[in-house]
Structure 1
Amino acid sequence: LAAIWSEVLKVEQVGLHDNFFELGGHSLLATQVTSRIRQRLELEVSLRSLFESADLQTFAQAAGQGSASQAPAFTVVDRSQPLPLSYAQQRQWFLWLLEPDSAAYNIPSALRLKGELNIEALRSSFAALIARHETLRTTFHQEGDQAWQRIHPASDFDLAVETVNAEALQARIVEETAQPFDLEHGPLLRARLLRLSADDHVLVLTLHHIVADGWSMPVMVDEVVRLYAAHCQGIAPQLPALAFQYADYAAWQRQWMEAGEQSRQLDYWRRRLGDEQPLLELPTDRPRPLQQSHAGARLDIGLERELVEALKATARQQGVTLFMLLLASFQTLLHRLSGQAQVRVGVPVANRNRAETEGLIGFFVNTQVLDARFDLRTTFAELLQQVRQTAVQAQAHQDLPFEQLVEALQPERSMSHSPLFQVLFNHKTENPGMAQELPGLRIEGLDWEERTAQFDLVLNTVEHGAGLSAILTYATALFDPATAERLGGYWRNLLQGICQDSGQRVAQLPLLDAAELVELQADVQRYPSAECAHVLIEAQVARTPEAIAVAFAGQALSYDQLNRRANRLAHKLREQGVGPDVLVGIAVERG
């Protein structure tokens, strides 16, 4: 176990007294540990036991109680037979059929290449990469009610090269990454080299989500760099052989799920999420459109180093990971904004809990629906323990494809929002492999302003050497930039309040900053507290009966008209037996 853990952490050794929980709190590292234990020791060890172990010795005792792995072994499927899609690919295919011209599910990346660049070696490296990974030369087609994969032979790679000036760089990246893909004809990987000068280039990579995920990007970059170095030196690339491909995983996933794992995990999620699938109703600047436009913008939220250190200290004190604390803080923000007692947030998981999948490019990532429940007495410390338990339990049921969960729970389908959740939280640790040095050439990641949004809001947080960065992506059909700025400020204020006293009730944590409080207090008007609302409105009717009371979509009612209508409705309700404390349901058009 020490050897496996040291290998994952890339350190020489792990001691018995290392803070195992804090390390295990990184779900990516924890997943790699359990997948290697499954492969080498043929034991199923729960992520929960890893999260709850204080040191290596405690974890060894828990691992000793593990059961034999029940999952089927990976096998290479016959390529002459029709190749099924994975469950995640199946949903992507359906979404593409609905909107073939959408770029909402493009995965873009940009790399800055500074130094002497061998363009032919780079082109050959991509050709070798595509020959190595079948998913990069796969297209999709429909036969009757069934969709299938079609793997094409390896061929030369078209690396587009063009010259741009620095002022047009950002716009050119946005334009390139916003081009849709044709899933039936491919290719589903595009690479365009933008030449700024003889020793300064930007490599723009775009893939469709149906063939890749976030984990795939550093795998691809690392292998291209190694292939490029070998081509420049005129030697054969030394990459480990791939025993399996994504098509083998897709067949394995269906075999495993259909053998009973699907029903086991689905039972948990049914109990957890119940029969009601509420929509998260945030205060937006505009009504939700009938169909998502997927147009988005991003806001960088600055977090000072002192605040980040205080957050980490609070997480340690409460016995949770930084991920759990940040998730709880985001759910608190959504609760305070919506007023809803239950808040659901989508959280992506790598879903590469088999060692055979770690080095593959493909669409493995899964999405979990993590909920939090609030009442007026809930303290943030209590919420943290609730979130901790929910996250740990979800890790033990992370394999059920989100697509199957949607199909089983049958939420009301709508083109205006995503099913089961409308807001996503994604926390990760920065991958240092994205910045690499080659003789005469430095490769580093390049940031730019993406303009797509798959959900109403997405909060991305990244741990890195310099601290913690946060990006809020928002749907521009719903939110204005000024509103996004306020939301970012509210979240930052919540974090500061949490660090000052995590025992506060959630309802009492600070949301507004001092300037907003002063502005709001300046507008305070006193109303007679002894009078009911309808009495105050009737007094206004007596004072200004002809004044406009309400207006919408070209129609308006005066106070007198409004009062008459209200009275007619009140009498009708009283005839039906309605009196004080009787609930009356209403059904009206949005407006």
Structure 2
Amino acid sequence: LGAAAGEVPGAGTDLPHTQSFGVDANFFALGGDSLLANRLVMRLCAEIPATVSVRDLFQHPTVAGMAALIDGTETGAPGTREAAPLRPAAGPRPARIPASYAQRSLWFLHRLGGQESTYHIPLAARLSGPLDIEALRAAVADVQNRHESLRTVFPDTDGEPCQHILEAPDAPFTVLPTDEDELPAALSAHARAPFDLLAEVPWRVVLFTLAPDTHVLLLVVHHIAADEHALRPLLGDLAAAYGARSAGHAPALPRLPLQYADFTLWQRGTLGSEDDPDSPLSAELAHWREALRGAPAELPLPTDHRLPEVPAHPGGTVTFALDATLGTRLAQLAAARGATTFMALHAAVACLLSRLGAGTDIAVGTVTAGRADPSLDNLVGFFAQTLVLRTDLSGGPGFAAVLDRVRAADIRAFAHEAPFDRVVEAVNPPRALGRHPLFQTMITMHGRQRTTLRLPGLDSAPLPLDRAMAKFTLLFEFAECGDGRIEGTLEYAADAFRQETAALLMRALERLVRGVLDEPERPYGTIMVLEAEEAGTLRVPGSAPVPATPSAPVPASSASNTM
């Protein structure tokens, strides 16, 4: 296999529950997912160096396969290696630092108004034990000084946002006495209180004192400064700083290799201008124009009420779980077809929505971490990338064939991560107030490790917080558990769905998963998803009721149209 064989294994050490593996072990069967695939590819590009893609990893998911590809034995050109892509790095900064593409989009939404708390990320925990309040105050200041994104404001400069990094703003830390009766309302009020992004740092920490050794800690950060993956370094740094301050000294955290503003400048420089037809950004936007050509502007959903044309929608949630047996079987089916568990869940949601009247051209959204490079691991910032996943379900395919189509579509999308706001402008779909462009249903997959708010020396219990606003009409959030279970939360727009309807939607999804696992080759349109008494209650308005009794299976020859 050549020199590359010895270089590939070291890049796969992030695989879950895996101490070692052979050169013929399948990356995805070992627990690899799309996030880890991106990280592995970036690390390979940096360490070998070579130019490989996520698509290459899906096509060659073993050490032996990737080594052969890199050495050139797959192409008949041994030893040829292209230059590795540039990696994020700190560099000279201009006087005016633009907002990142992702920040720019949120800034304009913020200026429109009506969505003030939609993009808040709140976390709360009940703390029991002796808490050093002044050490906590100092720790909040330490974390803010460490991460420029937490002390960045976004003034209006000729109608565009720029990043203005404050040198030493006051720590956004408040102590409020309260009691158990007033606590829920106080938590809700402070979690929802809007940020002035033009002049106010985009996070706050509120400590509610209930008794000398009983407190509730609330941390709220605006999405413009952080994403889900930013919570791990944010909370880890806060805990480390508190531990140090409570011991009487400053924290000794390792130096960060770069800051979010450095990433912003690198990203814009790497992508180039969309006015340049030869730039990488222009190439990515050309891909998305073609990939989304003719896609429905709005996916028909089985709502109880027509979604009002307002800037934001109140939200509600329901939860569900696939037991360990179902979750394990779904993961095994995915791995057997070279796919991830996320892809299998994407396929299941697409089949369900199609069964309920959404048609066969199903476009949903997802989010990738956008942190393929290890230098971004410990940085607080908004790196997440929104992607559109479009799947063709025509021809009455079985679920296995749908999974193959989803796999192909998802791999193509993951290989073309472009700033979502630029994709929207390039595709230019019909717009409507309160309707998310290009897709209205989002599917996400959370990692096995849960992020919790903890401080050393104290017992901590997470407190759930209600979701005041819905980001999308439907948001399916899944999380793999270590025992094989898959837990799920459905966030829904409460002015479009009743809670009972949302709960029924999740029960129907579980039934579909059971059905397709029992008969993966059976056309998905014949899998029962509703009981007799539910038939007709869950469907897209104006579509035919979903039959409670499955119809006769479509002949296999009609279901063989895979992408």
TM > 0.5: yes
379-388 vs 150-159, which moves further: 150-159
2:477 is aligned with 1:460? yes
Matches of 1:155 and 1:73, distance apart in 2: 27
Matches of 1:42 and 1:446, distance apart in 2: 46
Match of 1:450 in 2: 467
Cα contact 1:125–1:231 (8 A) shared by 2: yes
Q: Which residue type is aligned with residue 452 of structure 1?
A: M
Matches of 1:404 and 1:197, distance apart in 2: 51
Match among 72, 83, 106 for residue 97 of structure 2: 83
Match of 2:299 in 1: 280
2:500 is aligned with 1:482? yes
Match of 1:553 in 2: none
Match among 481, 490, 504 for residue 522 of structure 2: 504
Cα contact 2:442–2:476 (8 A) shared by 1: yes
Q: Which residue type is aligned with residue 433 of structure 2?
A: M
Match among 22, 29, 32 for residue 22 of structure 1: 29
**Alignment partner of 2:206: what SS?**
strand
Q: Displacement, 1:25?
A: 3.6
**Alignment partner of 2:313: what SS?**
coil
Match of 2:223 in 1: 209
Match among 148, 151, 154 for residue 140 of structure 1: 154
Alignment of 1:166-177 (within 5 A): 166-177=180-191
Which string of whole-angstrom CA distances, capped at 9 and with x for unpartnered residues, describes residues 561-589 of structure 1? xxxxxxxxxxxxxxxxxxxxxxxxxxxxx
Alignment of 1:575-586 (within 5 A): none
Cα contact 2:347–2:402 (8 A) shared by 1: yes
Bigger relative contact order, structure 1 or 2 (CA pairs below 8 A, ≥6 apart)? 2
Matches of 1:375 and 1:112, distance apart in 2: 50
Alignment of 1:541-560 (within 5 A): none
Structure exhibiting the larger radius of gyration computed from Cα positions: 1
RMSD over equivalenced CA pairs, Å: 2.4
Cα contact 2:125–2:461 (8 A) shared by 1: yes
Q: Displacement, 1:167?
A: 4.9
Match of 1:418 in 2: 436
**Alignment partner of 1:67: what SS?**
coil
**Alignment partner of 1:211: what SS?**
coil
Matches of 1:392 and 1:519, distance apart in 2: 35
2:379 is aligned with 1:379? no
2:86 is aligned with 1:71? yes
Matches of 1:17 and 1:445, distance apart in 2: 42
Distance 1:283 1:6, change over 3 A: closer
Match of 1:331 in 2: 350
2:279 is aligned with 1:264? no
Match of 1:110 in 2: 124
Q: Displacement, 1:393?
A: 1.6
Matches of 1:313 and 1:514, distance apart in 2: 31
Q: Which residue type is aligned with residue 497 of structure 2?
A: F
Match of 1:551 in 2: none
Q: Displacement, 1:112?
A: 3.5
Distance 1:348 1:19, change over 3 A: same
Cα contact 1:345–1:421 (8 A) shared by 2: yes
Matches of 1:253 and 1:287, distance apart in 2: 39
Q: Displacement, 1:18?
A: 3.5
Percent of aligned pairs sharing the same letter? 32
Matches of 1:237 and 1:519, distance apart in 2: 58
Q: Which residue type is aligned with residue 367 of structure 2?
A: P
Matches of 1:432 and 1:286, distance apart in 2: 35
Matches of 1:10 and 1:436, distance apart in 2: 24
Q: Displacement, 1:59?
A: 2.6
Match of 1:225 in 2: 239
**Alignment partner of 2:322: what SS?**
coil
Cα contact 1:34–1:47 (8 A) shared by 2: yes
Q: Which residue type is aligned with residue 237 of structure 2?
A: E
Distance 1:381 1:9, change over 3 A: closer
Which structure: greater helix fraction?
1
Matches of 2:70 and 2:454, distance apart in 1: 37
Match of 2:371 in 1: 352
Cα contact 2:14–2:36 (8 A) shared by 1: no
The aligned length equals 517
Cα contact 1:24–1:30 (8 A) shared by 2: no
2:134 is aligned with 1:129? no
Q: Displacement, 1:211?
A: 1.1
Distance 1:158 1:288, change over 3 A: closer
Alignment of 1:144-159 (within 5 A): 144-159=158-173
**Alignment partner of 2:28: what SS?**
helix
2:378 is aligned with 1:363? no
Matches of 2:120 and 2:164, distance apart in 1: 20
**Alignment partner of 1:75: what SS?**
coil
36-45 vs 211-220, which moves further: 36-45
294-303 vs 416-425, which moves further: 294-303
Q: Displacement, 1:307?
A: 2.2
Q: Which residue type is aligned with residue 360 of structure 1?
A: L
Match among 310, 324, 334 for residue 315 of structure 1: 334
Matches of 1:266 and 1:519, distance apart in 2: 40
Distance 1:39 1:376, change over 3 A: closer
Cα contact 2:121–2:222 (8 A) shared by 1: yes
Q: Displacement, 1:511?
A: 0.9
Cα contact 2:43–2:373 (8 A) shared by 1: yes
Match among 247, 254, 258 for residue 268 of structure 2: 254
**Alignment partner of 1:503: what SS?**
coil
Q: Which residue type is aligned with residue 225 of structure 1?
A: A
Distance 1:519 1:132, change over 3 A: closer
Cα contact 1:174–1:450 (8 A) shared by 2: no
**Alignment partner of 2:42: what SS?**
helix
Q: Displacement, 1:322?
A: 1.0
Match of 1:539 in 2: none
Q: Which residue type is aligned with residue 204 of structure 2?
A: R
Q: Which residue type is aligned with residue 46 of structure 1?
A: S
Cα contact 1:379–1:505 (8 A) shared by 2: yes
Matches of 2:172 and 2:162, distance apart in 1: 25
Match of 1:4 in 2: 11
Cα contact 2:118–2:468 (8 A) shared by 1: no
Match of 2:550 in 1: none
Q: Which residue type is aligned with residue 329 of structure 2?
A: A
Q: Displacement, 1:515?
A: 5.1
Distance 1:274 1:17, change over 3 A: same
Q: Displacement, 1:291?
A: 1.4
Q: Displacement, 1:441?
A: 2.0
Q: Displacement, 1:435?
A: 6.8
Q: Which residue type is aligned with residue 477 of structure 2?
A: N
Match of 1:304 in 2: 323
Distance 1:247 1:199, change over 3 A: same
Which string of whole-angstrom CA distances, capped at 9 and with x for unpartnered residues, describes residues 204-238 of structure 1? 11111111111111110011111112222234423
Which string of whole-angstrom CA distances, capped at 9 and with x for unpartnered residues, describes residues 494-514 of structure 1? 111111111110110111136
Matches of 1:479 and 1:519, distance apart in 2: 12
Q: Which residue type is aligned with residue 521 of structure 2?
A: G
**TM-score using structure 1 length:** 0.82
Q: Displacement, 1:368?
A: 0.5
Distance 1:519 1:265, change over 3 A: closer
150-159 vs 358-367, which moves further: 150-159
Matches of 2:385 and 2:460, distance apart in 1: 29
